[in-house]
């Protein structure tokens, strides 16, 4: 009830004209003024009411305007001003001064707020560009766009622009000229249309890099010209984003001529390498032929003289010719051994060894080799590591180097042998293509002799290359050292200058105890003991146990017959087989009949079934069968790596007495362990 009275009071105060007089009463003395006021206020009010509507339309359609809230306030201010003018018309006849006061109060509040915000936004309003400024900016933009378009179209480097899906949106004139197409044939086509079928595709990681980094460089591509020719290209791409859209600007460089030149250069280098290889092969075969012809001449001459002496019943005079023939065979075997060393096909027995102990053990031999005119200096205290190599081969290498140094110092000088421990990084091994970073033991042999020219240094490790007079060197010494060191996992460095001496540095791998432990768990194949080569016929023989059955497997009839005759001479019962399958069948038959063999002698390289697999099959039949393998390629024969540790290897050429000694020893070992 009280609320109704309050509402009636407010309404009455606003609309009740009691006690009030319309202000038109003051103008009754001149009625024309009343209508002037009324018409003017009506016109002003109507105009005020249309202005906010226009401002609202502008603010709604131009959402980019930065003063939109101020626009709405200004519209409200104008609307209230129009309302007050309409109320002024009303109060000419009705004393509704209350509602008019409310309208004016609201107008005052809105106008004050609008004025305050207008002054705050005035600096931002002043920086808005004028139409003239906008015209100049637009002209500059159009000029820049035109320059950009002309620069793109007339670029000397072929360019094309792709959209996000790979369709071509623009190409330069140089691009069209390079590929022979017209612009109409290119625009709107997918870039794959112009790629060769074997051209690399966009990989996902390439796209990812383009999206994240903004560019990718030098992608190989192959495009097809309009005439069908295929061009090799290097393409670089840059990502450009314009609001929501993205485009890819691609630069293409024709490298077809470069690729052809590189291919021609590679072919030329390959021909050069082949020519150098053939030259080296020719030099190698020429040297081998020269040395072996001399040896064969000596052997053939001795045999011819022996035949003549026998024909004349003078056999007692043949002993010295037999000795000469055997010595020639020894030299041929030594030459073959050096060739195997150069080719890294010799059988090595690497072990941990102290360089200091080895060199000190050779000191007297070195001094006697170089003679009294040359001073020997040893500096070995800088090495404490153990090297992993074949000690016998290392002794031979040091002796060869000492002989070369002696020959380079005919008037005397100083020979220095040094040892040191070296930890080498990849950067320090840039000149070595096969060496790996790690620990090495360095052995350096230096002389103060004549030295070598760069031309000689380039060829010093070639087989049969020598600067010594004919007959004073085979040219295989340094090549043998090179092969031994490389096969051992090391490398060689050579330092020399004419008149200032030569230093040869051998780098041998440091001994790894873990590798030694593994080698202990998996012992290497035994090499046959090395008795004096080719002992005479009257050398003492140990008789073999009675009724020993031996299987001889070799695809060479001459070698197999010689071995069989010798074994029969010493009391063995021999069965021959010419290949692996026949040897395996003989083993199986003997086992089935209950008369197994006591010894297997086989070549490693056999047709049908190689020696390694024959050994595996033989051991499956008899785990304790002694086995002696003969080969001319010990260390690289097929299947040798998997041979049992107790298999003995005998290298060709060997003496028949050596074969008899090895066979007798193995048969006695077999008899000793048999029940």
Q: Confirm whether 260 is domain-assigned.
A: no
Q: Between the CA of residue 263 and those of 231, 267, 275, 277, 307, what are the distances in Å?
A: 15, 6, 18, 20, 62
**What per-residue confidence (pLDDT) applies to 585?**
93
- Domain region containing 78: 10-126
Same domain? 206 vs 249: yes
Does 135 map to a domain?
A: no
Whether 381 and 492 map to the same domain: the answer is: yes
Q: Read off the pLDDT band of 244 (50, 70, 90).
A: low
Average pLDDT of span 666-672: 82
Are residues 515 and 374 located together in one domain of the fold?
Answer: yes
pLDDT at 324 over 80: no
Task: Indicate the DSSP class of residue 594.
Answer: T
Judgement on whether residues 228 and 325 belong to the same structural domain of the protein: no
Mean pLDDT lowest among 60-74, 184-198, 219-233: 60-74
**Sign of the CA dihedral 180, 182, 183, 187?**
negative
In a domain, 180, yes or no: yes
Residue bearing tokens 């007959």: 471
CATH of the domain at 245: 3.30.450.20
Ranked by mean pLDDT, the top range of 287-291, 294-298, 559-563 is 559-563
Res. 129: pLDDT tops 80:
no
Residues 57 and 174 in one domain: no
Do 552 and 503 lie in one domain? The reply is no
Judgement on whether residues 322 and 184 belong to the same structural domain of the protein = no
Same domain, yes or no, for 36 and 87? Answer: yes
Residue 20 forms part of a structural domain: yes
Q: What is the DSSP string of 162-199?
A: EETTSBEEEE-HHHHHHHT--HHHHTTSBGGGGB-TTS
Does 139 reside within a domain?
no
Calculated CA dihedral for residues 217, 221, 226, 228, nearest 10 degrees: 160
Cα-to-chain-centroid distance, residue 248: 32
Query: Across residues 455-461, what is the average pLDDT?
Result: 74
> pLDDT (tens digit, 9 = 90+) per residue, 138-158?
888 888 877 877 888 888 888
CATH code of the domain covering residue 439? 3.30.565.10
Last residue of a domain, one of 317, 342, 367: 342
Examine residue 606 and state whether it is found in any structural domain, yes or no: yes
Structure tokens at 271: 């021909």
320 and 432 belong to one structural domain:
no
CB atoms within 10 A of CB 482: 22
Domain co-membership, 338 together with 356: no
pLDDT at 612 over 80: yes
Give residue 445's pLDDT. 92
Q: Taking Cα atoms as reference points, which of 362, 510, 352 lies closest to residue 423? A: 510
Number of domains in the chain: 5
d(CA 285, CA 279): 10
Lowest mean pLDDT among 90-99, 128-137, 526-535: 526-535
pLDDT at 573: 92
How far is residue 234 from each of residues 155, 230, 566, 620, measured CA to CA in Å?
17, 13, 73, 62
Tokens of 606: 């056999």
**Segment 65-92 mean pLDDT:** 76
- Asked, for residue 132, whether it belongs to a domain, the answer is no
- Do 575 and 638 reside in the same domain of the chain? yes
Domain boundary among 126, 141, 173: 126
Q: Are residues 169 and 310 in the same domain?
A: no
Last residue of a domain, one of 324, 342, 360: 342
Q: What is the pLDDT of residues 465-495, one digit of tens each?
A: 565 544 344 445 577 777 778 888 888 888 8
**How many CB atoms neighbour CB 276 within 10 A?**
10
Q: Please determine, for residue 434, whether its predicted confidence score (pLDDT) is greater than 90.
A: no
In which residue are the tokens 């080569």 written?
533
Using the CB atoms, write b or e for 247-267: b if 16+ within 10 Å. bbbbbbeebeeeeeeeeeeee
Q: What's residue 412's pLDDT?
A: 87
In a domain, 454, yes or no: yes
């Amino acid at each position: 009830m009280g609320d109704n009275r309050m509402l009636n009071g407010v309404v009455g105060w606003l609309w009740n004209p009691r006690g009030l007089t319309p202000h038109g009463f003051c103008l009754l003395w001149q009625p024309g003024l009343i209508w002037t006021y009324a018409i003017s206020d009506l016109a002003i009010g109507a105009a005020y009411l249309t202005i906010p509507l226009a401002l609202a339309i502008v603010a709604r359609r131009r959402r980019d305007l930065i003063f939109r809230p101020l626009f709405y306030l200004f519209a409200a201010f104008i609307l209230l001003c129009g309302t007050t003018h309409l109320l002024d018309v009303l109060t000419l006849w009705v004393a509704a001064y209350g509602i008019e006061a409310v309208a004016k109060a609201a107008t005052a509040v809105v106008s004050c707020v609008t004025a305050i915000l207008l002054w705050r936004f005035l600096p931002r309003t002043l920086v808005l560009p004028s139409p003239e400024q906008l015209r100049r900016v637009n002209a500059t933009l159009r000029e820049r766009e035109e320059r950009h378009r002309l620069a793109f179209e007339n670029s000397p480097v072929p360019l094309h622009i792709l959209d996000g899906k790979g369709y071509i949106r623009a190409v330069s004139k140089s691009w069209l000229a390079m590929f022979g197409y017209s612009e109409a044939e290119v625009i709107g086509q997918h870039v794959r249309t112009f790629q060769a079928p074997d051209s690399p595709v966009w990989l996902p990681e390439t796209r990812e890099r383009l999206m994240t980094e903004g560019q990718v460089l030098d992608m190989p591509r192959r495009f097809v010209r309009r005439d069908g020719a295929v061009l090799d290209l290097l393409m670089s791409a840059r990502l450009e984003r314009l609001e929501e859209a993205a485009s890819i600007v691609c630069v293409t460089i024709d490298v077809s001529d470069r690729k052809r030149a590189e291919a021609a250069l590679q072919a030329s280098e390959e021909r050069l390498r082949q020519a150098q290889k053939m030259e080296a092969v020719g030099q190698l075969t020429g040297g081998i032929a020269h040395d072996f012809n001399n040896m064969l001449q000596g052997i053939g001459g001795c045999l011819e003289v022996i035949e003549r002496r026998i024909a004349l019943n003078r056999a007692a005079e043949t002993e010295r010719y037999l000795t000469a023939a055997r010595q020639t065979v020894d030299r041929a075997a030594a030459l073959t051994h050096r060739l195997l060393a150069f080719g890294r096909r010799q059988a090595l027995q690497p072990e941990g060894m102290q360089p200091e102990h080895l060199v000190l053990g050779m000191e007297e031999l070195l001094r006697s080799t170089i003679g009294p005119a040359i001073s020997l200096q040893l500096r070995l205290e800088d090495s404490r590591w153990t090297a992993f190599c074949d000690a016998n081969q290392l002794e031979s290498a040091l002796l060869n180097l000492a002989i070369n140094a002696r020959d380079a110092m005919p008037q005397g000088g100083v020979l220095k042998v040094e040892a040191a421990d070296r930890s080498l990084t990849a950067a320090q091994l840039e000149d070595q293509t096969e060496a790996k970073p790690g620990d090495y033991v360095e052995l350096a042999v230096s002389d103060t002799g004549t030295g070598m020219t760069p031309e000689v240094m380039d060829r010093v490790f070639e087989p049969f290359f020598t600067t010594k007079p004919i007959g004073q060197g085979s040219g295989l010494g340094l090549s043998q050292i090179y092969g031994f060191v490389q096969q051992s996992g090391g490398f060689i460095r050579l330092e020399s200058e004419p008149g200032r001496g030569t230093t040869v540095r051998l780098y041998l791998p440091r001994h790894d105890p873990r590798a030694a432990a593994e080698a202990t768990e998996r012992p290497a194949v035994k090499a046959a003991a090395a008795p004096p080569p080719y002992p005479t016929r009257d050398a003492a023989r140990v008789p073999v146990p009675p009724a020993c059955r031996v299987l001889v497997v070799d695809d060479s009839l001459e070698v197999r017959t010689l071995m069989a005759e010798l074994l029969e001479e010493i009391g063995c019962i021999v069965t021959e087989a010419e290949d692996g399958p026949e040897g395996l069948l003989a083993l199986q038959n003997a086992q089935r009949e209950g008369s197994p063999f006591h010894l297997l002698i086989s070549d490693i390289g056999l047709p049908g079934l190689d020696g390694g697999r024959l050994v595996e099959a033989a051991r499956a039949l008899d785990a304790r069968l002694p086995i002696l393998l003969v080969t001319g390629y010990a260390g690289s024969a097929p299947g040798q790596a998997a041979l049992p540790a107790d298999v003995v290897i005998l290298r060709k050429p060997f003496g028949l007495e050596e074969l008899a000694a090895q066979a007798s020893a193995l048969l006695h070992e077999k008899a000793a362990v048999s029940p």
